[in-house]
Amino acid sequence: MSTQELVDREVIERVLALSLSKGGEFAEVFVEDRHTSSAMLDQRRVEELSSGRDRGAGIRVVIGDTTGFAHTADLSEEGLRAAALAAAMVARRGEGGTITVSLNTLSTFDTTAREPLGTVDKSRKIEALLRADDIARSTGAEITQVMVGLGESSRRILVANSDGLFAADHQVRTRFNVQCVAMGDTGMQTGYRPIAGTAGFEILTDEAVTEAARGAASAAITKLAARPAPSGDLPVVLAGGSGGILFHEACGHGLEADAVLKQASVYAGKAGQKVASDLVTLVDDGTTTGEWGYLAMDDEGRPASRNVLIEDGVLTDYMWDFLSARREGRTSSGNGRRQSYQHLPMVRMTNTYLVEGSETPEEIIAQTPRGVYVAQLGGGQVNTATGDFVFGMTEAFLIEDGKITAPLRECNLIGNGPEILQRVDAVASDFSMTPGTCGKDGQQVPVGTGQATMRLSGVTIGGTAA
């Protein structure tokens, strides 16, 4: 079933008209039909092979600064009308009247996936899981456990609103994860590598699966020889693709318009001001085809776009959803996103990255007498009002005399987002992206983060070495 067949056009027009007749200034219907499938291999046993489906609609009605929202799994006209009345009741002002809503011609987008997992035989999926397991175990005898996961989300959405917008999209995402456990004299260590994209089974090439499996196993084995990390303020070199999450959390959330308009961001009121090193150009780009945060349109029906947030160190703009842009008399930047039809859209990042530079990673490392090389960052926390953050380093090495030497035990990076932006003093050209999941106000959405190898002149490292 195509997305536009979920709900009849005339039904949507009548539901929107009903919403406005109860006093609404703006009304929107968001319809979603999501299919998911997953498979998990643990110790060469298929622990999980499942699929699910969730469908429904969310309706919001806006009056002034008040938004009413209701959602329903009943896509009949009766169910949608009930949700529209409930949303209008929250936002209502005044009495009814007769209002007509006419939708524009449907704008449709379709997935670029060549082999959605729903079209792939289960035997091929299990074969990919077993192959990753074999490769990981062959990397070294220290590997004692391998877990491989494969998942897909096929999401059809339809957005219509009282301004006449009428748009549909089909979003397919596939993710493949390899996690390995290694045992040695120093105990147990883990390694992790993902493959992910807005694509189908075709992303699981032999080369990609081999690289992920060997990478996860090698990381776990290498960490068996890890020593305590140093503590104090040291230069930090972030490997290409590994540090994007730092800038996503420490800077990106502070550049979302809802936080800015509430004066809850350290970047509020700083458009046009110097906020970072000249080497920093920060972009949020939903148009990067194939990346984890790619969108043909956002969850408000607006086309995705490439938004330059910081250019050569100067803050140029923020990210906007429909309502925050409406309040400021401007247009959305295509950053209105929601977890599902049960959630209201809000300003969210898509693919957020720092633009590459001109140096090589080898040059940057050679120019660093002593410091820490971070191959992979873990999770973290950030205060958007101040920019203060704490991030875990799950894979890091010592830099001594311009060379990468000993692996380090997991420890923390501690700092402040605005200060870190000022401390970027070298950027390489080996740009790459990493998939992730971003949480905000209880909602989770897929995002991409990225950067080339870069050096921060100083970051506080919470190590335990004397």
pLDDT for res 466 = 53
- For residue 260, what are the contacts with CB-CB under 8 A and spacing of at least 6? 254, 267, 268, 318
CATH number at residue 186: 3.30.2290.10
Residue-averaged pLDDT of the chain = 92
Integer Cα distance of 70 and 379 in angstroms:
33
Tens digit of each residue's pLDDT (9 = 90 or more) over 108-166 = 887 777 888 778 888 899 999 999 999 999 999 999 999 999 999 999 999 999 999 99
Confidence of residue 250 (pLDDT cuts 50, 70, 90): confident
Q: Is the pLDDT confidence value at 292 over 60?
A: yes
Burial class (CB within 10 angstroms; exposed 0-12, middle 13-18, buried 19+) of 460: middle
The domain tally of the chain equals 2
Q: Are residues 220 and 270 in the same domain?
A: no
Confidence of residue 410 (pLDDT cuts 50, 70, 90): confident
Q: Are residues 248 and 308 in the same domain?
A: yes
pTM for the predicted model, two decimal places: 0.92
Q: Are residues 315 and 449 in the same domain?
A: yes
Confidence of residue 94 (pLDDT cuts 50, 70, 90): very low
The DSSP 8-state label assigned to residue 251 in this structure reads I
Q: Are residues 187 and 308 in the same domain?
A: no
Q: Is the pLDDT confidence value at 7 over 60?
A: yes
pLDDT for res 142 = 97
Q: Is the pLDDT confidence value at 173 over 90?
A: yes
Domain interval for residue 13:
3-225
Confidence of residue 98 (pLDDT cuts 50, 70, 90): very low
Q: Are residues 144 and 247 in the same domain?
A: no
Distance of CA 120 to the CA centre of its chain: 26
Q: Are residues 368 and 421 in the same domain?
A: yes
Q: Is the pLDDT confidence value at 93 over 60?
A: no
Q: Are residues 201 and 249 in the same domain?
A: no
Q: Are residues 219 and 279 in the same domain?
A: no
Domain boundary among 225, 245, 272: 225
pLDDT for res 457 = 96
Stretch 365-389: mean pLDDT:
90
pLDDT for res 97 = 41
Q: Are residues 294 and 381 in the same domain?
A: yes
Stretch 412-429: mean pLDDT:
94
pLDDT for res 298 = 98
Stretch 59-88: mean pLDDT:
93
Q: Is the pLDDT confidence value at 395 over 80?
A: yes
Structural tokens at position 302: 């607006």
Q: Are residues 162 and 94 in the same domain?
A: yes
Q: Are residues 134 and 187 in the same domain?
A: yes
pLDDT for res 128 = 95
Domain boundary among 207, 225, 243: 225
Confidence of residue 200 (pLDDT cuts 50, 70, 90): very high
pLDDT for res 95 = 42
Domain boundary among 225, 252, 272: 225
pLDDT for res 84 = 95
Distance of CA 45 to the CA centre of its chain: 30
Q: 75 vs 46, 58, 240, 351, 394, CA distance in Å?
A: 36, 10, 45, 32, 45
- For residue 353, what are the contacts with CB-CB under 8 A and spacing of at least 6? 244, 247, 282, 283, 285, 431, 433, 448, 449, 450, 451
Q: Are residues 87 and 141 in the same domain?
A: yes
Stretch 218-238: mean pLDDT:
95
pLDDT for res 386 = 86
